[in-house]
């Protein structure tokens, strides 16, 4: 059978399961005795094992099987998990991630050597576990299987034997490649119901329905059929590997005595009298059919899950592109109707505007994903780095449900890793240094996301030693970035911003983690490429806060249309603080540059025509339109010829050859069909500086 058609689904599911396993093992590391977490890891690992076996990836199947064996011993109490086990599990997960990446690249897992890892996972003392398993099996053969039965269930066993029926324990083990365990368990129980009465199921019926078991389960059955007939009937069911049928010969004497001399029941209140009488009544003949797993019902939760589908991101990109064309077409029709003064078009155009706006909003939401898509990989990263650095660090995540465009999420991951590595390496101090500074030995790294206006803020905060502005100035002088005179004139805040310059690093030595001076510059460049802004605040001895402001989406944005000379340009409103009119007499010269006073503060001015290299004549004007742009903590006013107004625009790429032009973020098609360039005013500010 050709399984290649399922490869995409396998890769998606494998990625989800590996991320879930990563999170679960992190939780298990904090409490190695938590059986609930161990069972959750079992379920995720077994699912991954079944999927990889079905697809024919034998190395991944063997590795997940070995991981199950390691945890099975912990679950049964024959092996206590320690730090070595945790490192081994994380190494296994990393290897499986490499396998998935290799498969995604068109290769297989065949070239991966996992023999040493599998041997390490299975290299433990299993004698106690094997002895326990043999003891349990012998107990069933000797008739002690009834020790797991309640007094009520033992009564049913006695009555069944009194009616001339045999009682068996039917131990069924499913194949390791079984993908529908709950369905197979249901078929086994249904087949046994046809042959007699089911007294009990281990694990419980609910556990079988929820697939809360590994591969085997036991059914207690009263029947007139023979053991061979039962075994053959169950073996005919698909995905059943083995069946062991043993007769339940004895009943635990203690439980029989409990039946003969029931414990007195204290008088109950009147409203409970009926329940007490029913409990004292003789037990009826067993009706275990009621205990058999019912056919799966469609609960509200399962319906919600079933209504979720995976959509290729390329299709969403195409849909967004078509919606962009719809926005452009609507703008053109509206403009033509206004020019022709066709009043009868007002109502249908208004309706079209509402519908297209709803479609645009819906498609935008379809592309939105929570930042947890990126945040979820940080706990593991910080765990590994803190161990490598010998630091004790607590990670605090907030606002994981905040949503961003999928494109932004994909691009922001690596810059976030740079920030985290910097904070951990030379932001948060060692235990000894923190103790000397009167701080708790455990450092705190807090990553939070929240929506502000039409954008999202991602904040990375640590309570480390902070950035010393005097040391930054000294380093800048040594590297020739500042003169000694300039260093005395800049503020501490401006000095800290020097850390964002290319090649600048405060690390005293280069390590595998940081110190080469490319991290912060790379972060700033990437954020600005995404149409965002980066700001950094630090206090010596208290820590550092880094703020990244990002647009919700990169496809359709609200912009300000302006004119410079005869050309129309667009500026994203994310970067626009306000627009003002400045009279000629209010423009002064400060340090050789034009400036004006805005609400008591000096606002530097720059002629956008000069920046763009456009010849403009403004000598006859008494006042100038100015677009005030905020870049970090700084503001600058760009003088333009005309403020046209706000408009939604669809960002179009300029292609590979023109994409590197500094100051141009792309282009858009206006309602009149003309093309307008989208200005990157942040880069204009850096060019000006």
Domain identity same for 345 and 486: no
Task: State the pLDDT confidence band at 625, using cuts at 50, 70 and 90.
Answer: very high
Same domain, 375 and 355: no
* 527 falls within a domain: yes
The number of distinct structural domains making up the chain is 5
pTM of the model as a whole: 0.60
List pLDDT tens digits, range 293-342.
Answer: 444 433 333 333 445 677 777 788 788 778 878 877 887 888 788 888 87
Known catalytic residue at 232: no
Residue 575 burial by Cβ neighbours in a 10 Å radius (0-12, 13-18, 19+): buried
Confidence check: pLDDT of 129 > 50 = no
Are residue 568 and residue 670 in the same domain, yes or no?
yes
pLDDT at 262: 40
Residue 623 has pLDDT above 50, yes or no: yes
Q: What percent of the chain has pLDDT over 90?
A: 9
Do 346 and 354 meet the contact criterion of CB atoms below 8 Å apart? no
- At 277, is the pLDDT very low, low, confident or very high (cuts 50, 70, 90)? very low
Closest CA to 225 of 260, 271, 193, 270: 193
Same-domain check for residues 617 and 669:
yes
- CA-wise closest residue to 237 among 291, 184, 276, 285: 184
Is residue 396 located within the same domain as residue 530? yes
Instruction: Check pLDDT > 50 for residue 272.
Output: no
pLDDT at 569: 92
Angstrom distance (rounded) from CA 232 to CA 172: 12
**pLDDT (0 to 100) of residue 230:** 92
The distance from CA 629 to its chain's CA centroid, rounded to whole angstroms, is 34
**Residue in the block written with tokens 């005293």:** 508
d(CA 153, CA 218) in angstroms, rounded, equals 15
Q: Which residue stretches of 308-393 are H helix?
A: 313-340, 346-366, 372-375, 378-389
The helix/strand count (H/E) of the chain reads as 25, 22
Q: Of 335, 367, 399, which one is at a domain's C-terminal end?
A: 367
Asked whether residue 450 falls in the same domain as residue 545, the answer is yes
Domain for residue 357, yes or no?
A: yes
- Residues 35 and 144 grouped into a single domain: no
| Residue among 145, 162, 183 nearest 286 (CA) | 162
**Residue 599 is part of a domain; what is its CATH number?**
2.40.50.180
Q: Which of residues 259 and 522 earns the better pLDDT score?
A: 522
Using CB atoms within 10 Å of the CB of residue 459, give its burial: 0 to 12 exposed, 13 to 18 middle, 19+ buried: middle
SS3 (DSSP) at 562: strand
187-202 mean pLDDT? 88
Rounded CA-CA distance 504/498 in Å is: 7
Q: DSSP letter string over 388-425? A: HHT--EEEEEE-TT-EEEHHHHHHHHHHHHHHHHHHHH
Find out whether 24 and 35 touch, Cβ atoms under 8 Å: no
In what helix (H) or strand (E) does residue 576 lie, and over which residues does it extend?
A: strand 576-583
Q: Is pLDDT at 398 greater than 60 in this prediction?
A: yes
- The per-residue pLDDT for range 530-557, each reduced to its tens digit, is 878 888 888 888 899 999 988 877 667 7
CA distance 260 to 252: 13
Catalytic residue among 40, 68, 153, 574: 68
pLDDT single digits (tens) 203-258 = 887 778 777 788 889 999 899 889 899 999 999 888 899 999 988 875 543 333 33
Is 414 inside any structural domain? yes
Alpha helix positions (H), 367-393: 372-375, 378-389
Contacts (Cβ under 8 Å, ≥6 apart) of 67: 45, 89, 92, 121
Of the residues 522, 551, 580, which one is the last residue of a structural domain? Answer: 551
Question: Token digits for 241?
Answer: 């590997």
Residue 68 annotated in active site: yes
Best CA proximity match to 329, nearest among 355, 367, 347, 366: 355
Asked whether residue 154 falls in the same domain as residue 232, the answer is: yes
Give the CATH number of the domain where residue 11 resides. Answer: 1.20.120.160
The per-residue pLDDT for range 654-670, each reduced to its tens digit, is 776 776 677 787 888 87
Banded pLDDT at 529 (limits 50, 70, 90): confident
Q: Which one of 110, 125, 140 terminates a domain?
A: 125
Please give the average per-residue pLDDT across 76-103, as a whole number.
Answer: 86
Closest CA to 553 of 423, 668, 409: 409
Asked if the structure places residue 302 within a domain, the reply is no
* Any domain includes 268: no
Q: What percent of the chain has pLDDT over 70?
A: 82
What average pLDDT score do residues 335-355 get?
Answer: 82
**Predicted local distance difference test score (pLDDT) of residue 175:** 86
- Kindly report which listed range (67-71, 150-154, 155-159, 271-275) carries the lowest average pLDDT score: 271-275
Rounded to whole angstroms, what are the CA distances from 369 to 155, 276, 446, 493?
56, 54, 21, 34
Verify that 540 and 413 share a domain, yes or no: yes
Catalytic residue among 65, 79, 411, 422: 422
The helix/strand/coil state of 249 is coil
From CA 185, how far away is CA 204, in angstroms rounded? 11
Annotated catalytic residue within 40, 46, 79, 429? 46
CA torsion 661→665→669→674, rounded to 10°?
A: -40
| 467 and 542 part of one domain | yes
Minimum mean pLDDT range among 130-144, 203-217, 521-535, 639-653: 130-144
Where do the DSSP E strands lie in 159-215?
166-174, 196-202
**Between residues 471 and 556, the one the model is more confident about:** 471
Sign of the C-alpha dihedral computed for residues 270, 271, 273 and 274 taken in this order: positive
Range of the domain at 238: 130-262+280-291
Report the pLDDT value the prediction gives residue 138, as an integer from 0 to 100. Answer: 53
DSSP 296: P
Over 80: is that where the pLDDT of 266 sits? Answer: no
| ∠ Cα 648 453 402 (to 5°) | 105
Instruction: Give the H/E segment covering residue 580.
Output: strand 576-583
Q: Which residues contact 649 (CB under 8 A, 6 or more apart)?
A: 556, 557, 558, 559, 570, 668, 670, 676, 678
Query: For residue 288, what pLDDT band results from cuts at 50, 70 and 90?
Result: very low
pLDDT of residue 306: 44
In the prediction, which pLDDT does 267 show? Answer: 41
Q: Exposed/middle/buried for 488, CB within 10 Å: 0-12, 13-18, 19+?
A: exposed
Whether residue 166 has pLDDT greater than 60: yes
d(CA 366, CA 370): 11
Structural contact between residues 639 and 626, judged by C-beta atoms closer than 8 angstroms: yes
Q: Is residue 202 part of a domain?
A: yes
Q: Please indicate, yes or no, if residue 97 is contained in any of the structural domains.
A: yes
Arithmetic mean of pLDDT, 253-276: 38
273 is a domain residue: no
- Say if residue 411 is in the same domain as residue 539: yes
- CB count, 10 Å around CB of 507? 15
The tokens describing 103, both together, are 């498969």
- Domain CATH number, residue 452: 3.30.565.10
* pLDDT at position 513: 53
Same domain, 375 and 498: yes
422 annotated active-site? yes
Question: What pLDDT score was predicted for residue 126?
Answer: 45
Split at pLDDT 50, 70, 90, the class of 367 is: confident
As a whole number, the mean pLDDT across the chain is: 78
In this predicted structure, the answer to whether residue 274 has a pLDDT above a threshold of 70 is: no
């Amino acid at each position: 059978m050709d399984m290649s058609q399922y490869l995409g689904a396998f890769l998606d599911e494998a990625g989800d399961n590996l991320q879930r396993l990563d999170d679960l093992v992190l939780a298990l590391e904090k409490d190695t005795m938590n059986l609930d977490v161990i069972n959750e890891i079992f379920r995720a690992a077994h699912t991954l094992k079944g999927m990889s076996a079905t697809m024919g990836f034998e190395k991944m199947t063997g590795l997940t099987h070995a991981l199950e064996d390691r945890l099975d011993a912990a679950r049964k109490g024959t092996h206590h998990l320690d730090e070595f086990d945790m490192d081994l599990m994380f190494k296994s997960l990393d290897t499986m991630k490499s396998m998935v990446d290799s498969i995604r690249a068109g290769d297989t897992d065949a070239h991966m050597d996992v023999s040493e890892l599998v041997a390490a996972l299975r290299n433990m003392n299993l004698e106690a576990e094997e002895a326990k398993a043999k003891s349990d099996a012998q107990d069933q053969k000797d008739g002690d299987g009834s020790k797991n039965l309640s007094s009520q269930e033992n009564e049913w066993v006695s009555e069944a034997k009194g009616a001339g029926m045999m009682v068996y324990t039917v131990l069924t083990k499913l194949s390791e490649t079984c993908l529908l365990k709950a369905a197979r368990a249901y078929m086994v129980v249904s087949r046994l119901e046809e042959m007699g009465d089911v007294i009990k199921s281990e694990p419980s019926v609910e556990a079988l329905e929820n697939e809360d078991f590994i591969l085997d389960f036991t059914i207690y059955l009263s029947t007139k059929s023979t053991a061979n007939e039962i075994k053959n009937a169950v073996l005919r069911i698909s995905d059943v590997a083995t069946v062991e049928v043993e007769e339940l010969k004895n009943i635990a004497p203690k439980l029989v005595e409990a039946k003969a001399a029931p414990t007195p029941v204290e008088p109950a209140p009147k409203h409970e009298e009926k329940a007490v009488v029913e409990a004292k009544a003789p037990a009826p003949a067993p009706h275990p059919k009621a205990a058999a797993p019912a056919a799966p019902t469609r609960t509200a939760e399962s319906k919600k899950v079933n209504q979720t589908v995976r959509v290729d991101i390329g299709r969403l990109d195409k849909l967004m592109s078509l919606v962009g064309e719809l926005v452009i077409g609507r703008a053109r029709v509206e403009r033509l109707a206004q020019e022709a003064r066709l009043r009868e078009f007002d109502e249908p155009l208004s309706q079209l505007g509402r519908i297209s706006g709803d479609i645009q909003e819906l498609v935008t939401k379809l592309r939105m994903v929570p930042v947890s898509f990126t945040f979820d990989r940080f706990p593991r990263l910080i765990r590994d780095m803190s161990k490598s650095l010998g630091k004790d660090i607590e990670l605090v995540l907030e606002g994981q449900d905040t949503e961003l465009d999928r494109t932004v999420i994909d691009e922001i991951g690596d810059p976030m890793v740079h920030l985290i590595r910097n904070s951990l390496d030379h932001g948060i101090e060692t235990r000894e240094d923190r103790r000397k500074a009167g701080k708790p030995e455990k450092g705190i790294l807090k990553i939070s996301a929240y929506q502000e206006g039409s954008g999202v803020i991602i904040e990375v905060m640590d309570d480390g030693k902070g950035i010393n502005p005097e040391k930054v100035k000294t380093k800048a002088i040594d590297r020739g970035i500042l003169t000694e005179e300039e260093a005395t004139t800049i503020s501490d805040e401006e000095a800290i911003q020097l850390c964002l310059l290319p090649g600048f690093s405060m690390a005293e030595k280069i390590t595998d983690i940081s110190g080469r001076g490319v991290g912060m510059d790379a972060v700033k460049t990437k954020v600005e490429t995404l149409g965002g802004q980066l700001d950094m605040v630090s206090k010596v001895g208290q820590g550092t806060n880094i703020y990244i402001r990002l647009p919700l989406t990169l496809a359709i944005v609200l912009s300000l249309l302006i004119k410079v000379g005869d050309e129309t340009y667009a500026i994203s409103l994310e970067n626009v603080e306000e627009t003002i009119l400045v009279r000629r007499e209010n423009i002064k010269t400060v340090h050789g540059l034009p400036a004006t006073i805005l609400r008591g503060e000096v606002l530097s001015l720059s002629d956008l025509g000069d920046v763009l290299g456009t010849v403009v004549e403004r000598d006859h004007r008494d006042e100038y339109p100015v677009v005030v742009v905020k870049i970090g903590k700084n503001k600058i006013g760009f003088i333009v010829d005309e403020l046209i107004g706000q408009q939604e625009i669809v960002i179009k790429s300029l292609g590979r050859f023109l994409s590197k032009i500094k100051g141009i973020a792309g282009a858009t098609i206006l309602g009149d069909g003309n093309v307008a360039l989208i200005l990157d005013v942040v880069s204009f500010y850096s060019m000006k500086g």
